[in-house]
Amino acid sequence: MKTPKGHEILKIIRAHIEKYKREARVYNIGIVTQIGDGIARVHGLVTVMSGELVEFNEGTTGIALNLESKNVGVVLMGNGLKIKERSLVKGTGKIAQIPVSEDYLGRVVNALAEPIDGRGPIPASEFRLIESPAPGIISRRSVYEPLQTGLIAIDAMIPIGRGQRELIIGDRQTGKTAVATDTILNQKGQNVICVYVAIGQRASSVSQVVTTFREKGAMEYTIVVAEMADSPATLQYLAPYTGAALAEYFMYRERHTLIIYDDLSKQAQAYREMSLLLKRPPGREAYPGDVFYLHSRLLERAAKLSSYLGEGSMTALPIVETQAGDVSAYIPTNVISITDGQIFLSADLFNAGIRPAINVGISVSRVGSAAQIKAMKQVAGNLKLELAQFTELETFSQFSSTIENTTKNQLARGRRLRELLKQSQSEPLSVEEQIAIIYTGANGYLDALEIGQVKDFLKQLCSYLKDKKPKFQEIISSTKVFTEEAEVVLKEAIQEKLKLFVV
């Protein structure tokens, strides 16, 4: 056998060196020094970022929230029961993000965008940061398109526009969730993607909402993000941001979206729990000082995008629970100052049988009639004023034994107007039906009926218009104006129906 010469050996070594590929990997590693109550104190993690995802060696994920000089405060996104002192923690270099895609429509997911409806994984090729920056001033345009809720009291007097943020506020058990879910049901056929975020709710309540959506065919265009009352505080805190990221995915694809946060009081409580465990200094009502920023950075993401960005929109309806109607508490005042108006639900009205229990006097939309079609403005322009005058007159009339005829007539008209605003749950009305109902009440056609007959008559009138006078709906839907021709058709229908009306 021939012995290789020196230059041949050199050639072989060189060839091996050229083929050799060395890959250097740098890991950011830390050690757990303290663990408990869903919070881990980690020594090390020198280059960790605020909000970065970290992985514990037993598989739990966490978010680095407190970057202190001697340690890092990490909140766990799970129970972390197997994490021990001196366990290793590895930085991922990623800020919290979730997968997004069209396939999320019709699904129920948790705060990490993982499916919890038992229908298997959701395919997704794209990711979005959970905390994205809100669109800037130049990226937005003013709100001008209506978002119909299907609730006559809201669409007529407290209109909501696409891209608006309208707060739903009231005590527990006053119908806040019902208003929000009815709005989602009314988006059927309106080309609006809906995201319902349930934060700290009972599992049975969330299941009931999902069942209603399925029965009414609303799940086709809806995503439900749910973190129940037994979920870790971290996940309850993250759920609204996850919902916003999913809605933004569609908004930046020139689509219209509606997001419900049910409710932000529970998110603030979860954030307070996390902050106190992280030893952040407490402020008013023991909430941390940045709780205002918690909600402002979430709600500012709702916007109507400029024509340059495709005019997509994200409309936010945050829900906040009050205690004994106290709107001056910390979280309610914070959210009121961020939003473009509020719908106040009163426990007294709810107990008096007025559903939805909207207190029209202190409810307001700061976008106003810019979010209404012209036909609705024409018909409902003075409705709020008339109801306010009626409420005042009704209060004063209680102290008087003799009431003159004009006052009697005004009170009778007011009671019928209040009656026509009552609406059953999960029965949203189209804008054409609302216009017909308001016109009938405001022009005194209901005055001859007993109060108990009002709802039945209006129901029959809507069916009569649909079957016998379709021209009315055609005129309103095509022109968006309450024309003289539409008024003539409606008057004929009302008079014909009054003659035929059977209780």
Dihedral sign of CA atoms 482, 488, 491, 497 in order? negative
Up-side HSE of residue 326: CA atoms within 13 Å toward CB?
Answer: 6
pLDDT in tens, 343-386: 999 999 999 999 999 998 889 999 878 889 999 999 998 888 88
CA 197 to chain centre: 7
Phi/psi of residue 33, nearest 5 degrees: -105, -20
The one-letter code for the residue type at 46 is V
Q: What are residue 344's DSSP bridge partners?
A: 169
Dihedral sign of CA atoms 192, 198, 203, 204 in order? negative
CATH homologous superfamily for the domain 378-500: ATP synthase alpha/beta chain, C-terminal domain (1.20.150.20)
DSSP string of 9-61, one letter each residue: HHHHHHHHHHH---------EEEEEEEETTEEEEEE-TTPPTTEEEEETTS-E
Residue 388: the pLDDT is: 86
The end-to-end CA distance of the chain, in Å, is: 115
Pull the structure tokens for residue 65: 């929230």
Q: What are residue 365's DSSP bridge partners?
A: 341
Residue 502: the pLDDT is: 64
Burial string for 355-370 (b: 16+ CB within 10 Å, else e) reads bbbbbbeebbbebeeb
Neighbours of 31 (CB within 10 A): 15
SS3 at position 387: helix
CA 136 to chain centre: 21
By C-alpha distance, which of 338, 349, 352, 362 is closest to 171?
349
SS3 at position 483: coil
Pull the structure tokens for residue 306: 């400029």
Residue 3: the pLDDT is: 64
Phi/psi of residue 267, nearest 5 degrees: -65, -40
Report the topology of domain 29-94: Elongation Factor Tu (Ef-tu); domain 3 (2.40.30)
Report how far residue 357's alpha carbon sits from residue 142's, in angstroms, rounded to the nearest whole number: 30
Beta strands at 52-56 and 61-67: parallel, antiparallel or unpaired: antiparallel
Q: What residues are annotated to the active site?
A: 366
By C-alpha distance, which of 448, 438, 427, 443 is closest to 499?
448
Alpha-helical regions (H) of 222-369? 233-251, 264-277, 291-299, 330-338, 347-351
SS3 at position 78: coil
Pick the CATH number of 99-372 from 3.30.70.100, 3.30.365.10, 3.40.50.300, 3.20.20.80: 3.40.50.300
Q: So where are the chain's domains? A: 29-94, 99-372, 378-500
What are the residues whose beta carbons fall under 8 Å from the beta carbon of 492, sequence distance 6 or more?
A: 469
Report how far residue 176's alpha carbon sits from residue 223's, in angstroms, rounded to the nearest whole number: 19
Tell me, what DSSP letter sits at residue 302? -
Strands (DSSP E) found in 341-487? 341-345, 364-365
Report how far residue 107's alpha carbon sits from residue 246's, in angstroms, rounded to the nearest whole number: 12
Q: From edge to edge, which strands make up the β-sheet containing 167-170?
A: 108-109, 222-228, 192-201, 256-262, 313-321, 167-170, 341-345, 364-365
Q: What are residue 304's DSSP bridge partners?
A: 313
DSSP string of 98-133, one letter each residue: EEE-GGGTT-EE-TTS-B-SSS------EEEESSPP
Longest dimension (CA), the chain: 131
- Which residues in the chain land under pLDDT 70? 1-5, 24, 400-401, 502-503
Give the chain's length.
Answer: 503
By C-alpha distance, which of 496, 486, 485 is closest to 463?
496
Whether the ω angle into residue 263 lies within 30 degrees of 0, i.e. cis, is yes
